[in-house]
A = this chain, B = another copy of it.
Amino acid sequence: MIRVAINGYGNLGRGVELALSHAQDMECVVVFTRRDPSALTTLGAPAAHVNEMPDYVGKVDVVLNCGGSATDLGTQGPEVAKLFNTVDSFDNHKKIPEHFDAVGAAAREAGTLALISAGWDPGLFSILRVLGEAVLPTGSTTTFWGPGVSQGHSDAIRRIEGVADAKQYTVPVEETVQAVKDGRDVELTPRTMHKRECYVVAEEGADLARIERDIVQMPNYFADYDTTVSFISAEELARDHAGIPHGGQVIRAGKTDDDVDAAITYQLQLGSNPEFTGSVLVAAGRAVARMAERGQTGAVTLFDVTLTDLSPASASDLRKNYL
């Protein structure tokens, strides 16, 4: 059994915990938290304060860092890599090279292995972008996101005066998706690619017309998109919009000869974004534990991992049953 520690018990940490319960060859041995460990109700694993981490050296094969990219992972990554093999879901695209270097330096010095930026984007979508271009070098790659909940956009709506609560869905524009798959020439702008659907609970007596205007005209977040705003009750929001679904698709459309098209589509439809992201972190954790066992150290990404290491099946079973 691969012994796993979860570091951070928010949505993603709980998603990882669920995913571990589906992995026959892995077990959750501890959940690290910055809160009072006795306040955590886990699915079964003991909780421990992050300050106790050093006590677990030798008892954990890989730590899955489940903090956020904005504040946690930048410092958490190098710190934890000094003690354990790690996986994180660092998704601040511009800072990925810097994060890779920082985590890699700590891991090399400590003799551990750290995999960064696992999840579905970055993560599975990244894999598919590279795979698509490797097999179809002449063409273009397009990523559509959704239908799914954007936490950042939902938060932006919640900050508007008069808004009690809100949920925002990013939805790909189907005609544009189809045009891209067909290899047709199509203008790709924020507005042609995605639309935004907002479900808003207003405070009593709030000016709904002003709220709607504040949303659809908000620069960066909404102004460049076709945005619809629906006002609903708190009960409706709780009943119909409680989930955190997400998904999207990576399309590689290219040519194998001047007049011969080829299209590759990879699509995810996820009932729960954090649960699925957690599932990818768990598979990555399996690979990291195995690669570290073979002596590999430093920083890697999913680009450096083989399917054989990601899968619980043996190499000969994979050849026999999956080829």
Contact = CB atoms under 8 A, between A and B. Distances in A.
Contact of A268 (B264, B283, B311): B264
A303 B304 contact: no
Given A134-B311, A256-B271, A279-B136, A323 B263 contact: no
Given A18-B256, A265-B266, A134 B276 contact: no
Question: Assembly of this chain: how many copies?
Answer: 2
Contacts of A322: 126, 129-130, 303
A267 interface: yes
Interface string A291-310: 00000000001111111101
Interface in A91-129: 93, 96-97, 100, 117, 122, 124, 126-127, 129
Interface string A111-155: 000000100001010110111011111100000000000000000
Interface in A22-36: 22-24
Interface stretch (A199-207, A227-235, A312-320): A312-320
Contacts of A131: 124, 127, 307, 310
Given A261-B271, A264-B267, 18 more contacts: A23-B137, A93-B323, A96-B323, A97-B316, A117-B323, A130-B307, A131-B310, A133-B311, A134-B307, A134-B312, A256-B271, A256-B278, A261-B269, A262-B269, A262-B270, A303-B306, A303-B311, A303-B322
Top-8 shortest CB links A-B: A256-B275, A260-B271, A122-B323, A303-B307, A134-B310, A134-B283, A265-B267, A263-B269
Interface of A: 15, 18-19, 22-24, 93, 96-97, 100, 117, 122, 124, 126-127, 129-131, 133-138, 181, 243, 256-257, 260-272, 275-276, 278-280, 282-283, 286, 301-308, 310-313, 315-316, 318-320, 322-323
